[in-house]
Chains A and B, each alone.
Chain A
Amino acid sequence: MWRWMLPTALRTVAAMVVTSCWIGSAGAEAPRWSIVRAESAITAVATQLGSPFEAGFAAFSADIRFDPEQPAASLATVVIDVASYDSGNAERDTRALGPEFFDVAAHPEARFETTAFSRDDAGWVADAVLTIKGVTRRVSLPFTLRIDDGRARMAGSLEIDRGDFGVGTGEWASASSGVGRTVRIDVRLVAVRD
Protein backbone atom coordinates (compact mmCIF):
# COMPACT_ATOMS: atom_id res chain seq x y z
CA MET A 1 0.00 0.00 0.00
CA TRP A 2 2.64 2.58 1.11
CA ARG A 3 4.82 1.42 -1.73
CA TRP A 4 2.19 2.81 -4.04
CA MET A 5 0.85 5.75 -2.11
CA LEU A 6 4.16 7.59 -1.96
CA PRO A 7 4.88 7.52 -5.68
CA THR A 8 1.23 8.36 -6.31
CA ALA A 9 1.46 11.38 -4.03
CA LEU A 10 4.71 12.43 -5.68
CA ARG A 11 3.24 12.02 -9.10
CA THR A 12 0.21 14.04 -8.13
CA VAL A 13 2.42 16.85 -6.87
CA ALA A 14 4.59 16.56 -9.98
CA ALA A 15 1.50 16.61 -12.19
CA MET A 16 0.26 19.71 -10.39
CA VAL A 17 3.62 21.42 -10.84
CA VAL A 18 3.81 20.43 -14.50
CA THR A 19 0.22 21.44 -15.08
CA SER A 20 0.70 24.82 -13.43
CA CYS A 21 3.88 25.38 -15.47
CA TRP A 22 1.91 24.52 -18.55
CA ILE A 23 -0.84 26.89 -17.61
CA GLY A 24 1.78 29.48 -16.71
CA SER A 25 3.61 29.12 -20.00
CA ALA A 26 0.81 28.36 -22.42
CA GLY A 27 -2.01 29.87 -20.47
CA ALA A 28 -4.31 27.10 -21.61
CA GLU A 29 -6.05 24.51 -19.51
CA ALA A 30 -7.31 21.36 -21.22
CA PRO A 31 -11.06 21.67 -21.65
CA ARG A 32 -13.49 19.78 -19.47
CA TRP A 33 -15.66 17.01 -20.86
CA SER A 34 -18.92 15.60 -19.52
CA ILE A 35 -19.83 11.95 -19.93
CA VAL A 36 -22.94 11.05 -21.89
CA ARG A 37 -24.14 8.29 -19.56
CA ALA A 38 -26.57 6.62 -21.95
CA GLU A 39 -23.79 5.98 -24.47
CA SER A 40 -21.01 5.12 -22.03
CA ALA A 41 -20.29 1.78 -20.41
CA ILE A 42 -17.70 0.13 -18.21
CA THR A 43 -17.82 -3.63 -18.44
CA ALA A 44 -15.83 -6.39 -16.76
CA VAL A 45 -15.42 -9.60 -18.74
CA ALA A 46 -14.47 -12.44 -16.41
CA THR A 47 -14.45 -16.17 -17.09
CA GLN A 48 -16.20 -19.16 -15.56
CA LEU A 49 -14.78 -22.58 -16.47
CA GLY A 50 -12.91 -20.83 -19.26
CA SER A 51 -15.92 -19.13 -20.84
CA PRO A 52 -16.38 -15.37 -20.70
CA PHE A 53 -19.32 -13.54 -19.16
CA GLU A 54 -19.91 -9.80 -19.06
CA ALA A 55 -20.94 -7.68 -16.13
CA GLY A 56 -21.50 -3.95 -16.20
CA PHE A 57 -20.93 -1.18 -13.70
CA ALA A 58 -24.02 0.96 -14.13
CA ALA A 59 -22.84 3.78 -11.85
CA PHE A 60 -19.62 5.68 -12.38
CA SER A 61 -18.49 9.27 -12.71
CA ALA A 62 -15.68 10.79 -14.68
CA ASP A 63 -13.73 14.00 -14.34
CA ILE A 64 -12.07 14.60 -17.68
CA ARG A 65 -9.85 17.42 -18.81
CA PHE A 66 -8.53 16.57 -22.21
CA ASP A 67 -6.97 18.27 -25.17
CA PRO A 68 -5.50 16.05 -27.88
CA GLU A 69 -3.01 18.81 -28.66
CA GLN A 70 -1.93 19.03 -25.02
CA PRO A 71 -1.67 15.47 -23.70
CA ALA A 72 0.53 16.60 -20.83
CA ALA A 73 -2.18 18.96 -19.63
CA SER A 74 -4.85 16.26 -19.91
CA LEU A 75 -6.17 14.28 -16.98
CA ALA A 76 -8.97 11.81 -16.47
CA THR A 77 -10.31 10.31 -13.28
CA VAL A 78 -13.03 7.71 -13.37
CA VAL A 79 -14.67 6.63 -10.12
CA ILE A 80 -16.76 3.47 -10.24
CA ASP A 81 -19.50 2.71 -7.75
CA VAL A 82 -18.60 -0.95 -7.21
CA ALA A 83 -22.04 -1.76 -5.76
CA SER A 84 -23.50 -1.16 -9.22
CA TYR A 85 -21.84 -4.38 -10.47
CA ASP A 86 -24.51 -6.28 -12.40
CA SER A 87 -23.77 -9.66 -13.95
CA GLY A 88 -27.41 -10.51 -14.57
CA ASN A 89 -27.61 -13.01 -11.71
CA ALA A 90 -28.42 -11.90 -8.16
CA GLU A 91 -26.63 -14.81 -6.47
CA ARG A 92 -23.41 -14.17 -8.37
CA ASP A 93 -23.66 -10.38 -7.81
CA THR A 94 -24.05 -10.91 -4.07
CA ARG A 95 -20.99 -13.14 -4.04
CA ALA A 96 -18.99 -10.71 -6.20
CA LEU A 97 -19.76 -7.83 -3.84
CA GLY A 98 -18.99 -9.91 -0.74
CA PRO A 99 -15.73 -9.96 1.23
CA GLU A 100 -14.06 -12.63 -0.94
CA PHE A 101 -14.30 -10.58 -4.12
CA PHE A 102 -14.90 -6.79 -4.16
CA ASP A 103 -15.68 -6.39 -0.44
CA VAL A 104 -17.89 -3.48 -1.34
CA ALA A 105 -18.72 -2.70 2.29
CA ALA A 106 -15.07 -1.80 2.95
CA HIS A 107 -14.20 -0.57 -0.56
CA PRO A 108 -17.25 0.99 -2.20
CA GLU A 109 -15.24 2.72 -4.94
CA ALA A 110 -12.84 1.67 -7.64
CA ARG A 111 -10.74 4.43 -9.14
CA PHE A 112 -8.87 4.98 -12.39
CA GLU A 113 -6.59 8.03 -12.54
CA THR A 114 -4.44 8.83 -15.51
CA THR A 115 -0.82 9.81 -15.04
CA ALA A 116 0.06 10.37 -18.68
CA PHE A 117 -1.49 10.35 -22.12
CA SER A 118 0.56 9.38 -25.14
CA ARG A 119 -0.18 8.83 -28.76
CA ASP A 120 1.31 6.50 -31.36
CA ASP A 121 0.36 5.10 -34.73
CA ALA A 122 -2.05 2.61 -33.21
CA GLY A 123 -3.90 5.21 -31.17
CA TRP A 124 -3.81 6.56 -27.66
CA VAL A 125 -2.48 5.10 -24.44
CA ALA A 126 -3.46 6.30 -21.00
CA ASP A 127 -0.99 5.38 -18.30
CA ALA A 128 -2.90 5.30 -15.08
CA VAL A 129 -3.17 4.03 -11.55
CA LEU A 130 -6.08 1.72 -10.91
CA THR A 131 -7.40 1.15 -7.41
CA ILE A 132 -9.68 -1.79 -6.74
CA LYS A 133 -10.48 -3.10 -3.26
CA GLY A 134 -8.02 -0.60 -1.82
CA VAL A 135 -5.10 -1.94 -3.86
CA THR A 136 -3.46 0.44 -6.34
CA ARG A 137 -1.60 -0.75 -9.41
CA ARG A 138 -0.15 0.91 -12.47
CA VAL A 139 -1.99 0.04 -15.68
CA SER A 140 -2.00 1.12 -19.29
CA LEU A 141 -5.21 1.59 -21.22
CA PRO A 142 -4.79 1.67 -24.99
CA PHE A 143 -7.76 3.37 -26.57
CA THR A 144 -9.14 4.75 -29.76
CA LEU A 145 -10.47 8.27 -29.85
CA ARG A 146 -12.58 10.22 -32.25
CA ILE A 147 -13.59 13.79 -31.67
CA ASP A 148 -16.24 15.26 -33.93
CA ASP A 149 -17.67 18.67 -33.31
CA GLY A 150 -17.14 18.72 -29.55
CA ARG A 151 -18.24 15.13 -29.10
CA ALA A 152 -15.61 12.55 -28.15
CA ARG A 153 -15.92 8.79 -28.40
CA MET A 154 -13.28 6.62 -26.80
CA ALA A 155 -13.08 2.84 -26.52
CA GLY A 156 -10.38 0.75 -24.95
CA SER A 157 -9.69 -2.44 -23.05
CA LEU A 158 -7.19 -3.51 -20.49
CA GLU A 159 -6.57 -6.84 -18.83
CA ILE A 160 -5.84 -7.24 -15.16
CA ASP A 161 -5.02 -10.17 -12.92
CA ARG A 162 -7.78 -10.04 -10.32
CA GLY A 163 -5.33 -11.62 -7.87
CA ASP A 164 -3.19 -8.45 -7.99
CA PHE A 165 -6.09 -6.62 -6.35
CA GLY A 166 -7.10 -9.37 -3.94
CA VAL A 167 -10.37 -9.89 -5.80
CA GLY A 168 -11.16 -13.53 -5.09
CA THR A 169 -9.61 -14.79 -1.88
CA GLY A 170 -9.52 -18.19 -0.19
CA GLU A 171 -10.79 -20.94 -2.44
CA TRP A 172 -11.42 -18.37 -5.19
CA ALA A 173 -7.81 -17.16 -5.34
CA SER A 174 -6.69 -19.78 -7.84
CA ALA A 175 -7.94 -20.15 -11.39
CA SER A 176 -8.56 -23.82 -10.51
CA SER A 177 -11.64 -22.55 -8.64
CA GLY A 178 -13.18 -22.22 -12.10
CA VAL A 179 -13.05 -18.42 -12.08
CA GLY A 180 -10.19 -17.24 -14.29
CA ARG A 181 -7.57 -14.84 -12.96
CA THR A 182 -7.54 -12.61 -16.03
CA VAL A 183 -10.36 -10.09 -16.25
CA ARG A 184 -10.79 -7.77 -19.17
CA ILE A 185 -12.17 -4.31 -18.52
CA ASP A 186 -13.85 -2.66 -21.46
CA VAL A 187 -14.34 1.08 -21.34
CA ARG A 188 -16.51 2.94 -23.79
CA LEU A 189 -17.07 6.60 -23.10
CA VAL A 190 -18.88 9.26 -25.01
CA ALA A 191 -18.28 12.79 -23.75
CA VAL A 192 -19.21 16.29 -24.83
CA ARG A 193 -17.01 19.34 -24.33
CA ASP A 194 -18.37 21.65 -21.65
Chain B
Amino acid sequence: MDPPIMGHPPQPSPIRFHPITMGLHWGVAIAVLGLVAWGWWMTELGSPVEKLWAYGLHKSIGILVWVAMIIRLAARAVIPRPPPVAAPRWRRFAAISVHSALYCCLLGMPLLGWVNASAANFPVNVFGVVTLPRITPTDPELAALAIRGHLAMSWVLVALVVVHAGAALRHHFVDRDRTLMRMLPFGGGRSG
Protein backbone atom coordinates (compact mmCIF):
# COMPACT_ATOMS: atom_id res chain seq x y z
CA MET B 1 0.00 0.00 0.00
CA ASP B 2 1.33 3.40 -0.99
CA PRO B 3 1.96 5.83 1.80
CA PRO B 4 -0.44 8.78 1.81
CA ILE B 5 0.81 11.69 -0.23
CA MET B 6 1.61 14.64 1.94
CA GLY B 7 0.85 18.09 0.50
CA HIS B 8 0.22 18.81 -3.16
CA PRO B 9 1.80 16.95 -6.02
CA PRO B 10 4.40 19.11 -7.82
CA GLN B 11 2.72 21.63 -10.13
CA PRO B 12 3.81 21.62 -13.76
CA SER B 13 5.59 24.87 -14.66
CA PRO B 14 3.14 27.30 -16.25
CA ILE B 15 3.60 27.96 -19.93
CA ARG B 16 2.61 31.61 -19.66
CA PHE B 17 2.95 34.29 -17.04
CA HIS B 18 0.05 34.55 -14.61
CA PRO B 19 -2.81 36.81 -15.73
CA ILE B 20 -2.03 39.16 -12.82
CA THR B 21 1.59 39.43 -13.95
CA MET B 22 0.48 40.05 -17.56
CA GLY B 23 -2.00 42.69 -16.45
CA LEU B 24 0.63 44.49 -14.39
CA HIS B 25 3.23 44.20 -17.17
CA TRP B 26 1.05 45.61 -19.94
CA GLY B 27 -0.74 48.10 -17.75
CA VAL B 28 2.57 49.53 -16.58
CA ALA B 29 3.97 49.42 -20.13
CA ILE B 30 1.12 51.54 -21.51
CA ALA B 31 1.10 53.90 -18.50
CA VAL B 32 4.87 54.41 -18.63
CA LEU B 33 5.02 55.17 -22.34
CA GLY B 34 2.25 57.70 -21.76
CA LEU B 35 3.98 59.14 -18.69
CA VAL B 36 7.28 59.65 -20.50
CA ALA B 37 5.64 61.40 -23.47
CA TRP B 38 3.31 63.41 -21.20
CA GLY B 39 6.17 64.24 -18.83
CA TRP B 40 8.36 65.68 -21.59
CA TRP B 41 5.40 67.57 -23.08
CA MET B 42 4.05 69.04 -19.85
CA THR B 43 7.28 70.84 -18.91
CA GLU B 44 6.91 72.93 -22.09
CA LEU B 45 3.33 74.03 -21.40
CA GLY B 46 2.89 77.80 -21.52
CA SER B 47 -0.26 78.12 -19.42
CA PRO B 48 0.47 77.71 -15.71
CA VAL B 49 -3.09 76.53 -15.07
CA GLU B 50 -2.74 73.77 -17.67
CA LYS B 51 0.67 72.97 -16.22
CA LEU B 52 -0.81 72.51 -12.74
CA TRP B 53 -3.40 70.04 -14.03
CA ALA B 54 -0.95 68.27 -16.36
CA TYR B 55 1.52 67.73 -13.51
CA GLY B 56 -1.34 66.54 -11.30
CA LEU B 57 -2.31 63.83 -13.80
CA HIS B 58 1.35 62.85 -14.32
CA LYS B 59 1.83 62.45 -10.56
CA SER B 60 -1.42 60.47 -10.16
CA ILE B 61 -0.53 57.95 -12.87
CA GLY B 62 3.10 57.83 -11.73
CA ILE B 63 2.05 56.85 -8.22
CA LEU B 64 -0.23 54.15 -9.67
CA VAL B 65 2.75 52.76 -11.61
CA TRP B 66 4.83 52.78 -8.43
CA VAL B 67 2.14 50.85 -6.54
CA ALA B 68 1.75 48.43 -9.47
CA MET B 69 5.51 47.79 -9.46
CA ILE B 70 5.56 47.11 -5.73
CA ILE B 71 2.72 44.61 -6.23
CA ARG B 72 4.61 43.09 -9.18
CA LEU B 73 7.78 42.72 -7.13
CA ALA B 74 5.82 41.07 -4.32
CA ALA B 75 3.96 38.86 -6.81
CA ARG B 76 7.26 37.48 -8.16
CA ALA B 77 7.72 35.74 -4.84
CA VAL B 78 4.36 33.98 -4.79
CA ILE B 79 3.11 33.56 -8.37
CA PRO B 80 4.72 30.71 -10.31
CA ARG B 81 6.61 31.79 -13.40
CA PRO B 82 7.23 29.96 -16.65
CA PRO B 83 10.77 28.60 -16.90
CA PRO B 84 13.34 30.72 -18.72
CA VAL B 85 13.69 30.08 -22.42
CA ALA B 86 16.92 28.31 -23.31
CA ALA B 87 19.51 30.90 -24.35
CA PRO B 88 23.26 31.44 -24.17
CA ARG B 89 24.62 32.50 -20.82
CA TRP B 90 25.38 36.10 -21.92
CA ARG B 91 21.82 36.61 -23.11
CA ARG B 92 20.41 35.25 -19.85
CA PHE B 93 22.70 37.64 -18.01
CA ALA B 94 21.68 40.54 -20.28
CA ALA B 95 17.99 39.76 -19.73
CA ILE B 96 18.40 39.69 -15.94
CA SER B 97 20.37 42.96 -16.05
CA VAL B 98 17.80 44.76 -18.21
CA HIS B 99 14.89 43.44 -16.13
CA SER B 100 16.59 44.55 -12.91
CA ALA B 101 17.32 47.99 -14.36
CA LEU B 102 13.69 48.30 -15.49
CA TYR B 103 12.49 47.50 -11.97
CA CYS B 104 14.93 50.09 -10.57
CA CYS B 105 13.69 52.77 -12.96
CA LEU B 106 10.01 51.99 -12.49
CA LEU B 107 10.32 51.98 -8.71
CA GLY B 108 12.87 54.81 -8.54
CA MET B 109 11.31 57.35 -10.90
CA PRO B 110 8.00 57.76 -9.06
CA LEU B 111 9.94 57.91 -5.80
CA LEU B 112 12.20 60.69 -7.13
CA GLY B 113 9.13 62.51 -8.43
CA TRP B 114 7.61 62.25 -4.97
CA VAL B 115 10.85 63.49 -3.36
CA ASN B 116 10.87 66.43 -5.79
CA ALA B 117 7.27 67.34 -4.98
CA SER B 118 7.86 67.00 -1.24
CA ALA B 119 11.06 69.03 -1.24
CA ALA B 120 9.39 71.73 -3.38
CA ASN B 121 6.33 71.70 -1.07
CA PHE B 122 3.98 70.63 -3.86
CA PRO B 123 1.31 68.25 -2.63
CA VAL B 124 0.95 64.87 -4.38
CA ASN B 125 -2.76 64.35 -4.88
CA VAL B 126 -3.67 61.04 -6.53
CA PHE B 127 -6.71 61.61 -8.76
CA GLY B 128 -8.28 63.89 -6.15
CA VAL B 129 -8.81 60.87 -3.92
CA VAL B 130 -5.84 60.83 -1.60
CA THR B 131 -3.06 63.26 -0.73
CA LEU B 132 0.25 61.54 -0.10
CA PRO B 133 2.28 62.62 2.91
CA ARG B 134 5.43 64.62 2.34
CA ILE B 135 8.53 62.47 2.56
CA THR B 136 11.11 65.26 2.85
CA PRO B 137 11.16 68.72 4.40
CA THR B 138 11.19 71.76 2.11
CA ASP B 139 14.57 71.87 0.40
CA PRO B 140 14.92 73.57 -3.01
CA GLU B 141 18.35 72.00 -3.65
CA LEU B 142 17.07 68.51 -2.94
CA ALA B 143 14.05 69.22 -5.17
CA ALA B 144 16.34 70.25 -8.04
CA LEU B 145 18.55 67.20 -7.54
CA ALA B 146 15.55 64.84 -7.47
CA ILE B 147 14.02 66.23 -10.64
CA ARG B 148 17.37 66.02 -12.46
CA GLY B 149 17.58 62.37 -11.43
CA HIS B 150 13.95 61.81 -12.47
CA LEU B 151 14.63 63.28 -15.93
CA ALA B 152 17.93 61.42 -16.37
CA MET B 153 16.17 58.18 -15.48
CA SER B 154 13.52 58.86 -18.11
CA TRP B 155 16.23 58.64 -20.79
CA VAL B 156 17.65 55.48 -19.25
CA LEU B 157 14.14 54.03 -19.09
CA VAL B 158 13.47 54.75 -22.77
CA ALA B 159 16.75 53.03 -23.70
CA LEU B 160 15.86 50.03 -21.52
CA VAL B 161 12.39 49.77 -23.05
CA VAL B 162 13.92 49.79 -26.54
CA VAL B 163 16.35 47.00 -25.60
CA HIS B 164 13.63 45.03 -23.77
CA ALA B 165 11.08 45.27 -26.59
CA GLY B 166 13.81 44.69 -29.20
CA ALA B 167 14.92 41.53 -27.42
CA ALA B 168 11.33 40.27 -27.18
CA LEU B 169 10.82 40.83 -30.91
CA ARG B 170 14.14 39.15 -31.69
CA HIS B 171 13.08 36.10 -29.66
CA HIS B 172 9.78 36.01 -31.51
CA PHE B 173 10.84 36.67 -35.09
CA VAL B 174 14.49 35.56 -35.23
CA ASP B 175 14.85 32.87 -32.58
CA ARG B 176 11.20 31.84 -33.03
CA ASP B 177 10.83 30.85 -29.37
CA ARG B 178 8.03 31.38 -26.83
CA THR B 179 9.57 34.32 -24.95
CA LEU B 180 7.07 36.92 -26.16
CA MET B 181 4.13 34.52 -26.20
CA ARG B 182 4.62 33.83 -22.50
CA MET B 183 3.61 37.42 -21.78
CA LEU B 184 0.70 37.48 -24.24
CA PRO B 185 -2.76 36.32 -23.16
CA PHE B 186 -3.55 34.80 -26.59
CA GLY B 187 -1.99 32.84 -29.47
CA GLY B 188 1.17 30.76 -29.49
CA GLY B 189 -0.09 27.19 -29.86
CA ARG B 190 -0.45 25.29 -26.61
CA SER B 191 -2.53 27.27 -24.19
CA GLY B 192 -1.12 28.00 -20.79
Name A residues whose Cβ lies closer than 8 Å to a Cβ of B.
47-55, 87-90, 92, 95, 171-172, 177-179
CB of B184 within 8 Å of the partner chain: no
CB closest chain-B residue, reference A48: B123
Our count of residue pairs bridging A and B at CB distance below 8 angstroms stands at 50
- Mostly helix, strand, loop or mixed at chain B's interface? mixed
Nearest Cβ on chain A to B109's Cβ, whole angstroms: 20
The distance in angstroms between the C-alpha atoms of A159 and B111, with both chains bound, is 33
CB closest chain-B residue, reference A176: B49
**Given A53-B123, A54-B121, A88-B121: A48 in contact with B140 (beta carbons within 8 A):** no
Nearest Cβ on chain A to B80's Cβ, whole angstroms: 41
Nearest Cβ on chain B to A171's Cβ, whole angstroms: 5
**Given A88-B121, A178-B49, A178-B52: A50 in contact with B140 (beta carbons within 8 A):** no
B49 touches A49 (CB 8 A): no
Question: Which of B2-10, B124-132, B171-179 forms contacts with chain A?
Answer: B124-132
The distance in angstroms between the C-alpha atoms of A48 and B56, with both chains bound, is 9
B56 surroundings in chain A (CB, below 8 A) = 48-49, 178
B123 touches A49 (CB 8 A): yes
CB closest chain-A residue, reference B53: A178
A50 touches B52 (CB 8 A): no
**Given A178-B52, A178-B56: A53 in contact with B140 (beta carbons within 8 A):** no
CB closest chain-A residue, reference B52: A178
A54 surroundings in chain B (CB, below 8 A) = 121
Nearest Cβ on chain B to A55's Cβ, whole angstroms: 8
Q: Which 6 A-B pairs have the closest CB atoms?
A: A51-B123, A88-B121, A88-B138, A51-B125, A51-B131, A178-B52
A88 surroundings in chain B (CB, below 8 A) = 119-121, 138, 140
A90 touches B121 (CB 8 A): no
Contacts A88-B119, A95-B48 supplied; 20 other A-B pairs, CB < 8 Å: A48-B56, A48-B123, A48-B125, A49-B56, A49-B128, A50-B128, A51-B124, A51-B125, A87-B121, A88-B120, A89-B120, A89-B121, A89-B122, A89-B140, A92-B122, A171-B47, A177-B52, A178-B49, A178-B53, A178-B56
Q: Residue A48 contacts which of B47, B119, B122 (CB distance < 8 angstroms)?
A: B122
12 of the cross-chain contacts (CB-CB < 8 Å) are A47-B123, A50-B128, A51-B124, A54-B121, A55-B121, A88-B138, A88-B140, A89-B143, A92-B122, A178-B49, A178-B56, A179-B52
